[in-house]
Structure 1
Amino acid sequence: MANENEVTGEPTGADEPVDVEAPLVVTGVAMAQARVTVTGHDFNRPDPYPGMGDFGWAGNVERLGDGRLMLVHQWGYWHSSFAEPRIIEPATAKRWRQGNWPLDFPAPTGGRCMATFSSDDGRTWSKPRTILDLDLDDSPFGILRCRNGVLLCFVNVQASWYGFNRAPAELAHTLGGLNTQQCVIRSTDDGETWSEPIWLESAGRFYERSHGQPIELPDGGVLWPTYATDERKGRLFGAIHRSDDAGVTWRLLATVKRPDQDVDEPAIARLADGRLVMTSRPDGAVFHSDDDGATWRRTGCIDAGGNFKAPRLFVLSDGTVVCVATVGHLVAFLSRDHGRTWTRSVSLDQSSYGYPGGMRLEDDSVLVSYVQRGRAPSRIFLLRFKVSDDRSAIDLLPMDRLDAVPAPDGQHTEDPDVDAMK
């Protein structure tokens, strides 16, 4: 039975967000040299297929056994690429159409899961290919290569209805009536072939979604953070699923609930001292676990100064924690005390929306995958940086190539419909 963590109250005193050092600065090369386009509406597009549009989520990156990098991503046509037939509640549909959402876009199976590969540490990428295409819109948000060599891809599957308190009768047979459900696919040959989906029992009675990266513990257990709700307008809570057999079977380990705020899009990481840290949308709340994710307590906050979305956590070799997230655009934060306190944000790419994935490389640099925009037309970018030795700066590293798409000028203005699914 899962542990239910009802996190009451807020941290006080020493756990309040503070500046732990001078504000971070960004150094290194210009954005045009630090960033490459992996795929996009106008670059390295997948081969045509029914329902292909000009948008995809950036997913995540992992190192394969032969040294190549693999990036999994979604490709569809909009912020959510509903399959056909689709039923959207009329008032919701009207609002979305006003934001130019193409609700009549011909897409028999909606968005699909794709993969692309790099043999030069992310500078160039193969043409994306499909690794999963269900009857419904599916998006990969996590990729993990277990120590035994098994590759796990974590997939968000969206039903073709929205805006109702329960599934319309015509579509109630899909996902058992859930609005969104999670599944895992496994590969034992570094992504060449994949298993059939392994479906997780939903932590929420209305939907369960994911954005965070899974982690593998020293004992071989795999933890996957998700978020869920029991009703359409209910409070969102975090959930931790655990597998002890490299993704074959799963159990719900814990839920994390706050009485007065959502736990949305949680991200987790294992710290240098063996504890786990979690942060979540919308306010950067920070939680710690001393027992491998079974129980959690609220310990602090990342003071984002805005709507904090889609965090991704990286732990460097000296224990420094890097958080990359969207706060209007792509930003970063640092913690030098295992996630108790954090710096203020520093902008990584002011021209892009973000919703990052990524990984720490062997030299302690960080690769970040992210999207240009929250709707079509868009591109999937990859950025590489390293934190300075004194932890005072983010140093953008070169990833030059002759066919890179030039970096757009100016600051990203958040698309009006990017929170339409909330």
Structure 2
Amino acid sequence: MKSTTLILGSLLALSSTLFAAEDVKVLETKTISFQPDYYLGWPTLLRQKDNRLIIVFSGGRQAHVCPFGRLEFITSQDDGQTWSFPRTILDTDIDDRDAGILETSKGTLLATTFTSTAYETYLNLAKEGKPAPYAKPETLPLWEAAHSRLTHEQRQSLRGEWLVRSTDNGLTWSAPIRTLVDSPHGPAELADGRLLYVGRELVSKPPRIGVSESNDDGLTWRWLSEIPVRAGDKAGLDYHELHAVQANDGRIIAQIRHHGETNHYETLQTESEDGGKTWSEPRSIGVWGYPSHLLKLRDGTLLMTYGHRRAPFGNQARISRDHGRTWSSPLMISEDGQGQDLGYPSSAELADGTLLTVWYERLKGDKKTVLRQAHWKLNQ
């Protein structure tokens, strides 16, 4: 009898922190972009204080890698039932890629991206008549024309991590501001009003993994701290695409896309208890998938959403009720993907407590990728 009681007690304790897939109810899943001629990628979703939803993403693209990416956004006034036609935020003469978005406590919108010349590798292969992913013979003249707009030195000067600001709710945007680091979903605001950007240097050799901060609403950024490297890992090679959130206990939780040999393609986690000045050694949290987006719900629960690029292909979520110390079992947001070209989900909590998650995906039979969303809720 005593052993039965112990087993039952253990099961009850486990059920209080682990949530099975049936505890999620997906209310609706749908495609929300209608630009079949473009490859759309790496979105971030934001719910503003006035309840308007914004999605920023890399649009105008021919392929996963190309010279045409630009930073775009769409809006919804009805909790994602309908979305506006895209508007362009930033379009440099090289590839504008991942898109992040934050509304600060002052009402300023900050949209982040990074600019890349990675397409040059494929362009040069195609020009030599060699097989070149993304650069097709029929599009080669267009690639060459886009590439020739700038000199090599001018292209190199555009590479890096950028942010643009809007103080009129997205009507107009500032000139680009360097942020020192990049991550797909952008910076976070702390309880003390500072903006903290946890990410990766993209141009510096070797790149550092760490934190930049802003004390003036995103106008300027300075280096704050470096995140330590776990034994056996190589920061510049293994750590990518970070995101952070501040829990209700004051700790900052940051998660890392990991490419190292140990815990390959898992999400690692590091924490700071002093406002981002120092960080714990990254550790595995038992999550295969990447990259993650972190959101604090109104009741203090932390939500992480991430792409799952192996069967079942799709997007998953996990929750933490102890400020990021432990995470639930996977919650299936979507599992009908056709392959690895999907993910980068981000989420927002709607006024009624339900959740909206947005990601990009190549659907069956499509040549390009689309933006999709799931409206869902936790069954508690």
TM-score > 0.5 by shorter chain? yes
Match of 2:190 among 217, 231, 250: 217
Change (3 A) 1:145 1:321: same
Give yes or no for the alignment of 1:238 onto 2:222: no
Q: Is the 8 A contact 1:263 1:280 kept in 2?
A: yes
**Percent identity over the alignment?**
28
Give yes or no for the alignment of 1:316 onto 2:281: no
Q: How does 1:281-296 map to 2 (within 5 A)?
A: 281-282=257-258, 283-296=266-279
Superposed CA RMSD in Å reads 2.8
Deviation at 1:299, TM superposition (A): 6.4
In the alignment, which residue of structure 1 is the partner of 2:44?
A: 60
Change (3 A) 1:290 1:22: closer
Deviation at 1:380, TM superposition (A): 0.2
Offset from partner CA, 1:100-137 (integer Å, 9 cap, x none): xxxxxxxxxx1111111111011100111212111111
Q: How does 1:10-409 map to 2 (within 5 A)?
A: 21-26=17-22, 34-42=28-36, 53-64=37-48, 66-75=50-59, 76-81=61-66, 83=67, 110-159=68-117, 171-176=152-157, 180-200=159-179, 202=180, 209-228=182-201, 237-258=208-229, 259-261=231-233, 262-282=238-258, 283-298=266-281, 300-304=283-287, 306=288, 308-328=289-309, 329-352=314-337, 353-373=342-362, 376-389=367-380
The 2-side partners of 1:311 and 1:382 are apart by 16
SS in 2 for 1:184: strand
Alignment: residue pair count = 317
Deviation at 1:300, TM superposition (A): 4.2
Change (3 A) 1:230 1:193: closer
Alignment-mate amino acid for residue 274 of structure 1:
G
Alignment-mate amino acid for residue 378 of structure 1:
T
Change (3 A) 1:341 1:80: same
In the alignment, which residue of structure 2 is the partner of 1:14?
A: none
SS in 2 for 1:26: helix
Offset from partner CA, 1:9-65 (integer Å, 9 cap, x none): xxxxxxxxx9974442235666xx5123221444xxxxxxxxxx4211142122345
Q: Is the 8 A contact 2:305 2:347 kept in 1?
A: no
Deviation at 1:78, TM superposition (A): 1.4
Alignment-mate amino acid for residue 238 of structure 1:
I
Deviation at 1:368, TM superposition (A): 1.4
Q: Is the 8 A contact 2:53 2:77 kept in 1?
A: yes
In the alignment, which residue of structure 1 is the partner of 2:6?
A: none
The normalised TM-score by structure 1 is 0.68
Q: Is the 8 A contact 1:256 1:263 kept in 2?
A: no
Deviation at 1:366, TM superposition (A): 2.6
Gaps of 5+ in 2: 1-13, 123-149, 259-265
Q: Is the 8 A contact 2:318 2:328 kept in 1?
A: yes
Change (3 A) 1:381 1:223: same
The 2-side partners of 1:113 and 1:281 are apart by 23
Q: Is the 8 A contact 2:183 2:243 kept in 1?
A: no
Q: Is the 8 A contact 1:19 1:344 kept in 2?
A: no
Range with bigger deviation, 190-199 or 323-332? 323-332
Deviation at 1:322, TM superposition (A): 1.4
The 2-side partners of 1:199 and 1:27 are apart by 42
Q: Is the 8 A contact 1:313 1:323 kept in 2?
A: yes
Offset from partner CA, 1:132-166 (integer Å, 9 cap, x none): 111111135211111111111111111255559xx
- Identify the structure with bigger relative contact order (alpha carbons < 8 Å, sequence gap 6+): 1
Q: Is the 8 A contact 1:184 1:197 kept in 2?
A: yes
SS in 2 for 1:324: strand
Gaps of 5+ in 1: 1-17, 43-52, 84-109, 204-208, 390-422
Range with bigger deviation, 317-326 or 120-129? 317-326
Change (3 A) 1:299 1:264: closer
SS in 2 for 1:175: helix
Deviation at 1:292, TM superposition (A): 1.4
SS in 2 for 1:59: strand
